[in-house]
Structure 1
Amino acid sequence: MSRLSGTRIATLGLLAAALVGLWQSLRLDSWGFDGPGPGFFPTLVAGVCVVLAVIVFFSPGRAGVTEEGDTDDVPKDPSAGTGNTFAIYVASFAVLALGTAFAGFFVTIVAVTVLIMRFAERRSWVAAVGYGVACAAIGLVCFGWLLRVDLPEGPIERAFYTLVR
């Protein structure tokens, strides 16, 4: 029998937690006469987690090599710095809190995503802005329009709601 890597062991733990979550969420009503029920979102999230855990278990990726020469489950990126990453994530929480109060959902999500992806994760500007806009648009459509969640409103949200409601 082959040795289980750290990634596969952690994935088994996450798979077990996701299966318990799925089992419990299936006991709730997923849909009612007036729309999504209390079990809709937990069932959806738990199902996605189960699928992703199975994918990661069977295809965990390649092991990287650390500076000491030992194999590690996470490859080391030599260009990535470690100095300010934590501070950038902390700053993103401040932007999230202040942005929802003043700028609305869409602008805040784009700003937080760009801040994290560009400066903490060191992705390109195009990737960071593209991913930020995609996340904000998906969140606005899925939560604000389809599920009718009260999201923080700014001019973009008000214009969007006048088009779809």
Structure 2
Amino acid sequence: MRDLGLDFQPRRPGLLTVVLLFAGVLLCADAWLEDRTLLSQQEEVEARLAQAQRRADRVDAGRRDSRPENVFSAEEGKTLRQTIGLIRIDWEKLYRSIDAATGEDVALLAIRPSAAGKAVQISGEARNMAAALAFVEALRREPLDKAVLLSHQIKQSDPQQPILFEIAATWLTGS
């Protein structure tokens, strides 16, 4: 007769089973600790968000309560508008256009812009009258407009006798 293989004695678990059970328990414990850490971080962030919202509400309420009707007097407001107008002027474009018009025969001595009148006065000297007139003509490009030779004079003390000149021009500020 054959052996039926009935064993009424329980077998001991193998080493592999114990190691896998232990690894599973460790992974579960690690997941639980990570969950607790993330929950505490979430609660901390939510608390900071609520605190920031309360601060923002207080600041906003303070602004509404303390906002005066006129922050500046009429004179201060006028000065502020003028200053903002000066800031908006494209000074670089103005000076670049003057520089582009200046030839080898012209030397600039002074550039005096007046933002209020949108005008510029240019003093310089030219090698001859033709160079001075060519410079005036070259200035009549954007952003400058209406360039006019105000005065000219021959510098007699210099042996080359250059022409001293004054030019007035207006410019388009774009605003």
Normalising by structure 2, we get a TM-score of 0.25
